[in-house]
Structure 1
Amino acid sequence: MRLDLSVPDALGAVLATARQTEPETVPLADALGRTLAERVLAPEAIPPFDTSAMDGYAVRAEDCAHAPLALPVAGSSMAGAAPSGPLAPGTAMPIATGAPLPSGADAIVPVEWTERADASQDERVQISRAPEAGRYIRRAGSALAVGDAPLASGVAVTPAAIGMLAAMGLGSVRVRQRPRVRLVVTGDEVAGPGAPLAPGQIRDINGPALAAQIDAAGAEVCEIVQADDASGSVAQAARGDADLLLLTGGVSVGPRDRVLADLSASGVVWHFWRVRQRPGKPLLFGTWDGVPVLALPGNPVSASVGFEVYGRPLIAAMLGRASGAEPINARLGEDLATARGLHTFARVFARRDSCGQLVLTSAGPQGSHVYRTLLGDGLAHLPADWDLAPEGSVVPYSPFAWTPTC
């Protein structure tokens, strides 16, 4: 087991254990937020036939070359039905937006360019301007041809993607199964939600909070289990079928910190312990029969940051996401304190300046109180060799999964 890794080395070790989950087919109604398991090929063209982009009249462009003029009106083409017939030479056919183009027509005259006489006296339409051939016509397959691949494997299904899938005539889609996470909260001092507090106990913050982070990352919690400080309790609570085992608490060197010893005796192979970072230095990572085991500190701020830095990218890799949780570059709008020798993750607010550049400012004191987990839009990554992160510096920034796009 390696000790005191750098953040890049620790993250690399975590991601090296990722195994993609199996694909499954889900209806579109259940696909939002899921990750595509394969690229989607269009089985149908969009639009499926030549259509009108305007309300107006379908004509032959050559019949209107000398506009203004009047043409007799014949037939119609409305959305949701076939045209009444082909367009006869020298006539105009009323057509609605999205309706099929009748054979023989090669142009659309918008209704704004026309004036219709009283139909009871004269079935003719006055055309004030000559249309261009092909103007205001959406050709079959102009948006998407059969065999095109508008959606790639590894992308998240958005509302827009669901609309595209529906437009292609698909009622279901192949996605990656959501990784199942077993969440173990350790410590005699932790009382579950709704339970009475015994002397010296505190509320379980990490269980509900990490479960929400897991869900936001695209995985699902299969069970939340509490382990007390008795020897063997952690190993017993950790047993169960899952794609990822996530623990919180018990990872330091206190007399009741039993995660390392208990799980070592149960067969966990530890890859590293402790990372040169703040917050969350005493972090453990290993594998148990091929299943990643990520053990985070019990402090809520450290646990939250540890999951964002290691847990969320790991889940993204298990889902095969083309874009995981990679940081983006942003500029510091003020000086930020660092911890010399430790990679600092500072909670920050993000905004756009007048030039559109992303600017980061401190979310306040970077303490360990649970209230601090409410603050900020994401984490600024401050290098370990800086004594201070000066205003104007460009640093990596990781927005939280729940932060709206700035």
Structure 2
Amino acid sequence: MREFISVEEARNIVLEQVTPLPVERVPLAEALGRRLAEAVVSRDDIPPFPNAAMDGYAVRLADVQQVPATLRVVADVGAGQLPPESIPPGACIRIMTGAPVPAWAEAVVPVEWTEAGANGTVRILQAPAANENIRPAGQDVRAGERFFEVGQRITPPAVAMLATLGVAEVPVFRRPRVAIVATGDELIDAGQPLTPGHIRDSAGPGLAAQARWLGAEVIGPQRVPDDRAALEQAVEQALEADVLVFSGGVSVGLYDLVRQVLDGRGTRWLFWKIRQRPGKPMAFGLLAGKPVFGLPGNPVSSALCFDQYVAPALRRMQGQQEVLRPRFSAVLEAPTPKKAGLHFYTRGVARPGSDGRLLVRDTGPQGSNLYHSMVRANCLIHLPEALEEAPAGLEVEIEWLPWTLEP
């Protein structure tokens, strides 16, 4: 087992151990937010036939070379109706947006370019160009076109396009099942009054929420006291999941029993401790071939380790190609604490400056027990381990926290 490794080494070790989960097919109505497991090729031209782009009149160009021109209206055609296959010279049809344009029609004259005539006629006041206001077949997608790629996220527009392409059942990667286990005698339910020596459990609900945000199914969260028998039972239940996440109990303290129980189960630990703040005492290994994350007990440390290590693993398991969030340059508005030798994940608030550059400041005290530093943040400020101090004016990298980008 490797100890006290860099952020990059830790992330690489985690990602080397995870692969996309098996494929399942779900109804289109249940596919939102999932990742495609197969490329989607269009079977049809979209639209499948030429159709009117505007309400108006389908005409031959020879009949409207000289305007104004009076034409006889021989049919009305709406969307979903079929037009006549032929009409006599000097005639036209009234056509609605989306209705099929017949082969003989060479343009659609918008209704705004016309005025009603007598005895079922219409006066054309302006001549159209060839194919004007006609949407050709295949204008959107051509038959045989590879439209969606493996790993693409199914967004609301993608749902609409999949429906257009006739995909009623969507091949997606299975959602990962994540077991969340929060440990400690000091933890009580959110609804209980505080008593001496106890704190309300925030790690369990918070980590479960982070997992669900990423599309995972959550087993638990379980809250387990520092009791070997209870932990043994929790581990047994957690093995039903694809990923096991423990909060607390993975250090070397007298009551840090999670590590001992997992060792007894045959866990193969790949690393322990990362050169970062917060979240240094994190552990990662494999139990029965399943990733096991031992996160620190402090709530901010736990949440950040989940965000930086568990979340990329869950993205990969769901078929996402790029599992790390992009980073952006920003300038520190004020100095923020930094210690050399550790990668600092400083919770920050970024905003655009008057010159177009991003400005960022920390959210205040950055203790790993101070959850307000997460709630008030819209980004993480990355301060690499080689950096000795972080003065005002320093150019840094930030990544937006995903939940701050949603409405």
**CA offset at residue 355 of structure 1?**
6.0
Matches within 5 A, 1:285-364: 285-335=284-334, 336-353=336-353, 357-364=357-364
The C-alpha deviation readout for 1:31-73, integer Å capped at 9, x for no partner, is: 1111111111222321111011111111112322222322222
Q: Distance in 1 between matches of 2:353 and 2:122?
A: 55
Could you tell me the TM-score, scaled by structure 2's length?
A: 0.93
Could you tell me the TM-score, scaled by structure 1's length?
A: 0.93
1:46/1:357 CA distance change after superposition, 3 Å? farther
Say yes or no: does 1:143 pair with 2:140: yes
**Aligned letter for 1:243?**
D
In structure 1, the residue matched to 2:389 is 388
**Aligned letter for 1:212?**
A
The C-alpha deviation readout for 1:363-388, integer Å capped at 9, x for no partner, is: 23222223323121121211111123
- Secondary structure at the counterpart of residue 389 of structure 1: coil
In structure 1, the residue matched to 2:401 is 400
**Aligned letter for 1:306?**
C
In structure 2, the residue matched to 1:27 is 27
In structure 2, the residue matched to 1:373 is 374
In structure 1, the residue matched to 2:112 is 112
**Aligned letter for 1:266?**
R
The C-alpha deviation readout for 1:189-248, integer Å capped at 9, x for no partner, is: 112344565642211111111100000112111232232212354343122211100000
The answer (yes or no) to whether the contact 2:333–2:359 under 8 Å persists in 1 is no
Say yes or no: does 1:204 pair with 2:205: no
1:146/1:359 CA distance change after superposition, 3 Å? farther
**Aligned letter for 1:63?**
D
The answer (yes or no) to whether the contact 2:245–2:295 under 8 Å persists in 1 is yes
Where do 5+ consecutive residues of structure 1 fail to align? none
Matches within 5 A, 1:61-76: 61-76=61-76
The answer (yes or no) to whether the contact 1:344–1:381 under 8 Å persists in 2 is yes
Q: Distance in 1 between matches of 2:59 and 2:355?
A: 49
Aligned residues: percent identity?
A: 42
In structure 1, the residue matched to 2:166 is 169
Say yes or no: does 1:131 pair with 2:128: yes
In structure 2, the residue matched to 1:156 is 153
| 4+ runs deviating over 6 angstroms | none
- Secondary structure at the counterpart of residue 150 of structure 1: strand
The answer (yes or no) to whether the contact 2:332–2:395 under 8 Å persists in 1 is no
Q: Distance in 2 between matches of 1:255 and 1:184?
A: 19
**Aligned letter for 1:43?**
R
The C-alpha deviation readout for 1:261-312, integer Å capped at 9, x for no partner, is: 2211210000000000011110000011210001111111111111111011
Deviates further, 139-148 or 348-357: 348-357
**CA offset at residue 143 of structure 1?**
0.2
- Secondary structure at the counterpart of residue 337 of structure 1: coil
The C-alpha deviation readout for 1:170-194, integer Å capped at 9, x for no partner, is: 2221111110011111111112344
The answer (yes or no) to whether the contact 1:182–1:238 under 8 Å persists in 2 is no
Say yes or no: does 1:229 pair with 2:215: no
